[in-house]
Amino acid sequence: MSAVQPPFLKPRPEVEGLQAYSAPLEGRRGLLRLDFNENTTGPSPKVLEALRAIPSDHLAIYPEYDGQRAAVLANLGLPLQPDQVGLFNGVDAAIHAIFHAYGDRGETLLTTAPTFGYYTPCAQMQGMAIHAIPYEGATFAFPLEAICDALNDTPRLLLICNPNNPTGTRLAPQRILELAAAAPQTLVVVDELYEAFTGDSVLPLADFSALPNLLVLRSLAKTAGLAGLRIGFAIGHAAVVDRVSRVTGPYDINSFAVTAAFAALRDQAYVDGYVAEVIEARAWLAEQLRSAGVRHHVEGGNYLLLWPRRDPAAVAQALRTAGILVRSMAGKPLIDGSLRVSIGTLEQMQRFWEAFQAVEAIPPTL
């Protein structure tokens, strides 16, 4: 319940009507965390080494960002200029800033449903209308035609999560470029947080001088294991990156995150190894689900959806008792009744599968 508002101290009406985005983030330590699509093994040892080597006087001064944008571009192998990269306190902060810079009262956010939960409150706090088009059919296909049609109404922002969290839906990068080309007055934001698990990035194809209305979001949270340090990037036309960066504070990314990001960006081999392990474990778990006849949906991303036979809340609770966290999709359009299970290493997924079989009384496979 929210506290009563002092009568003379009125926030903006959009804020008063807003439900804060909240996620069940507490009490997760010591458990197998398959509920937030995080890296399940931790960052590269080189990141830890770099963090341990931070001299104490660095904590006493404000962070320095010199070279970080160039390091992002070098890591991605992109022939862009450093001013085409914005640094943010996680991709969440980039999303928030995009809405602040571009989303005005009465304008529309066009997006899909179900998708990542933070787009909606960001639109609401700006007083924007939300047009969320459902994924299509049993495979949750991207609603391309309906999105194309809706672009004719000139929404201010189009948010595409590719692959989509939580359905895993993939959209070919070429289609995204076509959407952006067809809607020059709409800022098309591509949230590529889980791109590493599919390889569908729009970045190698994007020409931001021809498509200044395209902005791509990347993070080190899910692959490099830096979710706790909070750092994310927005890559696009320099003018757009500049406007989005104007609505952030000058020192929003802390020194630990900067140091960790430099080390993580230099150790791509670690990320590649982790991603390969996750993809193998994803295929293994999908095969177990298939042979046991458990309804599931797996496409892109380091996660999949499954539909338990028993009450999903009871199954999630029983898994928690067994030391494993998964995320209930209760109340989400199209996927109510499912659980989203993040994918970690093969060993972790074997542990999950054993616990799930016991909870659902599935006979063990020989």
Question: Which residue blocks in the chain are alpha helix, DSSP H?
Answer: 13-16, 45-52, 56-60, 68-76, 91-102, 119-125, 144-151, 173-182, 238-246, 255-266, 268-292, 312-321, 346-360
Rounded-to-integer distance, Cα 276 and Cα 281, Å: 9
Segment near ligand PLP (CB under 6 A), from 68-76, 89-97, 139-147, 272-280? 89-97
- Give the pair of three-digit tokens for residue 361: 């009384």
The answer to whether 165 contacts ligand PLP (rule: CB under 6 A) is: yes
Among candidates 227, 244, 343, which has minimal Cα distance to 296? 343
Sole binder of ligand PLP in the list 122, 125, 150, 161 (CB under 6 A)? 161
The answer to whether 299 contacts ligand PLP (rule: CB under 6 A) is: no
Nearest approach, Cβ of residue 218 and ligand PLP (Å): 9
Nearest approach, Cβ of residue 91 and ligand PLP (Å): 3
The answer to whether 301 contacts ligand PLP (rule: CB under 6 A) is: no
Nearest approach, Cβ of residue 329 and ligand PLP (Å): 13
Rounded-to-integer distance, Cα 85 and Cα 127, Å: 28
- Give the pair of three-digit tokens for residue 310: 């028993």
Size of the site for ligand PLP (CB under 6 A): 13
Cβ proximity to ligand PLP, 17 vs 117, nearer residue: 117
Sole binder of ligand PLP in the list 73, 177, 193, 258 (CB under 6 A)? 193
Nearest approach, Cβ of residue 94 and ligand PLP (Å): 8
The answer to whether 288 contacts ligand PLP (rule: CB under 6 A) is: no
Nearest approach, Cβ of residue 366 and ligand PLP (Å): 37
Nearest residue relative to ligand PLP (C-beta): 90
Q: Are the C-beta atoms of residues 191 and 95 closer than 8 Å to each other? A: yes
Sole binder of ligand PLP in the list 126, 167, 219, 255 (CB under 6 A)? 219
Rounded-to-integer distance, Cα 6 and Cα 362, Å: 55
Cβ proximity to ligand PLP, 38 vs 267, nearer residue: 38
The answer to whether 221 contacts ligand PLP (rule: CB under 6 A) is: yes
Cβ proximity to ligand PLP, 116 vs 356, nearer residue: 116
The answer to whether 162 contacts ligand PLP (rule: CB under 6 A) is: no
Burial grade of 52 (CB within 10 A; 0-12, 13-18, 19 or more): exposed
Q: Which residues contact 140 (CB under 8 A, 6 or more apart)?
A: 164, 167, 168, 169, 297, 299, 334, 335
41: left (phi over 0), alpha (psi -120 to 50) or beta: alpha
Cβ proximity to ligand PLP, 11 vs 134, nearer residue: 134
Cβ proximity to ligand PLP, 67 vs 228, nearer residue: 228
The answer to whether 216 contacts ligand PLP (rule: CB under 6 A) is: no
Sole binder of ligand PLP in the list 34, 91, 188, 318 (CB under 6 A)? 91
The answer to whether 87 contacts ligand PLP (rule: CB under 6 A) is: no
Cβ proximity to ligand PLP, 191 vs 200, nearer residue: 191
The answer to whether 229 contacts ligand PLP (rule: CB under 6 A) is: no
Rounded-to-integer distance, Cα 216 and Cα 278, Å: 23
Rounded-to-integer distance, Cα 63 and Cα 257, Å: 9
CB count, 10 Å around CB of 26? 6
Cβ proximity to ligand PLP, 216 vs 285, nearer residue: 216
Nearest approach, Cβ of residue 36 and ligand PLP (Å): 6
- Give the pair of three-digit tokens for residue 112: 């899909």
Q: Are the C-beta atoms of residues 87 and 103 closer than 8 Å to each other? A: no
Enumerate binding residues for ligand PLP (CB under 6 A). Answer: 37, 90-92, 116, 161, 165, 191, 193, 219, 221, 227, 232
